[in-house]
Structure formats: C-alpha cells, structure tokens
Amino acid sequence: MRRRAGVGAIQKQKLEQEKYKDKGNEIQENQFEQMTKQLEVFRLNLEEFATKHKNEIRKNAQFRKQFQDMCASIGVDPLASGKGFWSVLGIGDFYYELAVQIVEVCLATSYKNGGLISLRELRTRLIKARGQGKQHQEISQDDLICAARKLKIFGSGFSVVSVGKGQYMVQSIPGELSMDHTAVIEQVANSNQAFTSVSMLQEQLNWETTRAQNALDHLLQEGLVWIDLQDVMEKLYYFPSLFTACINASN
C-alpha cells in the first residue's frame, strides 16, 4: 500500500505553491511596470512626432491615417480630447468640421436617396463643397469613416454600413438596418447596377420568395428604394443612392 502524505508534507507543498504564486505576481507587476514605462516613452515620442509633423498630418490624408494607427496602437485618441496637448494639433476640429459637413450633405440629398448615400458619392460632394479654401486638405475614405462614426453620439440616426469589397454606405435615417437589408444593399453594390428584384435575390442570395419580398418591402417603405413597375417580367427595385457609383463603374 502507498503511504499517504503526512501533514508536514502537505503544509510544505502549500508553502511552495504560495511562494510560486507570490513570485508570479511579482513578475507580472514588474512586466506591467515596464510596459507602462514603455508606453509613456512611446506617448512622449508620439507627441514630439505630432508637433514636428503637424502641418503634414492636417493636409496629407495618408499621413493622417498612419498617425491615427500609431495613436490607436497605444490607446490614444486625439479626437476624444478637446484640451491639453492633442487640442493643439487641431485634428479633432478637422474631424468635427468634417462630421458637420457630412450631416449637411446627407440632409441635402435625403429627399432623393432616402437617407442612404455611398461613401464615394459623399466624398465627391464634400470635395466640391469644400472647394480650394481649406489649404488643399485631402479627404480620404478613412477620414470620412472616422468622422461619420463620431456621429453615433446622435444614436442610430447615423451609421456606416459596410457593403463588401471596400465599399461603404452612410445611413442617415433613424433605425438599424437588419442583416437582410444590408445583404440586399451589398448584393446591389457588388453587381454594378443600381437595381435588384425578388428573382435576383433568390438566385444570388439563395433566399425564399417571402424573405426577399419582405426585405424589399421594408426598404421601399423606408424610402431607400424606388419601385419600377414598367418591366414586363417583374418589379425592379432601384437604389438612388447607388446611381452615381454604378454610372462611374460602367464608364
């Protein structure tokens, strides 16, 4: 028979486990302290870099995107702070101004697109509206996405919808689009045509007739699509928000 461990052996084993635990905690604390110091050094270097390249960050969209990525890597959001060092850069002002202009364009075009506009058309309209007066500041797709997402503070009235293949739509109407509604928009956006139908959704998304019809009826009710009853085969549903993108793709 195996001898059972005595009380002394159990206590010794318990003490060793506690020592290992204490040592592990000590190592974790040291690593955390070192990491905190490294992040602080990184933050100071980032501030120095931002000061040195302030004008380029403001004017160059690609440079601004790279700078945002560096900030995100250490958990710094220069847009979130309206005072202190980051306010000196004026980056927050740039995005807040851009966000206001996005709202203006969305409101001005909602009567014809139902409150859904492609990011490409939005960018084209903003560049035209801003003209040459902003010291030739470039506006990239990343700038628009960043600014539009700041509008989430208004609730579900503004949101950025990904429709695949690097394409985005900006929704400026209350209410969330369901996965089915987003799938319909994505199907149309990737087909290089501004319309769809029940049979197209059945074929390309493998949906039942009822599911396809319900999705289209909702989009029609929300004013996001126009219905064409002239086709002899079936009803066609047009997305006015995708007219411009499809025309450019065909050219």
Q: Reduced to 3 states, what is the DSSP secondary structure of residue 227?
A: strand
Give me the helix-helix angle, 209-221 and 198-205, nearest 10°.
120
pLDDT, tens digit, for every residue of 53-81?
A: 777 777 777 777 777 777 777 666 665 55
Name the most confidently modeled range: 83-92, 177-186, 206-215: 206-215
Query: What is the model's pLDDT at position 164?
Result: 78
| pLDDT tens-digit map of 18-48 | 777 766 677 777 777 776 776 677 667 767 7
Among 51, 48, 135, 54, residue whose Cα is nearest residue 97: 135
DSSP letters spanning 99-127: HHHHHHHHHHHHHHHTTEEEHHHHHHHHH
pLDDT of residue 101 exceeding 60: yes
pLDDT tens-digit readout, 190-242: 887 889 999 999 999 999 999 999 999 999 988 889 999 888 789 999 998 88
- Residue 238: phi and psi, rounded to 5, are -100, 140
Would you list the DSSP string of 48-81? HHHHHTHHHHHH-HHHHHHHHHHHHHTT--TTT-
Helix (H, G, I), strand (E, B) or coil at 41: helix
CB atoms inside a 10 Å sphere around CB 204: 15
Which of 153-157, 161-165, 208-212, 221-225 has the least mean pLDDT?
Answer: 153-157
Alpha-carbon distance of 159 to 115, in angstroms, equals 11
Whether residue 215 contacts residue 181, with contact meaning beta carbons closer than 8 Å, is answered with yes
- Total residue count of the chain as it appears in this document: 251
State percent of the chain over pLDDT 90. 15
State whether residue 143 is helix, strand or coil. Answer: helix
| This model's pTM is above 0.85 | no
137: pLDDT confidence band, cut at 50, 70 and 90?
A: low
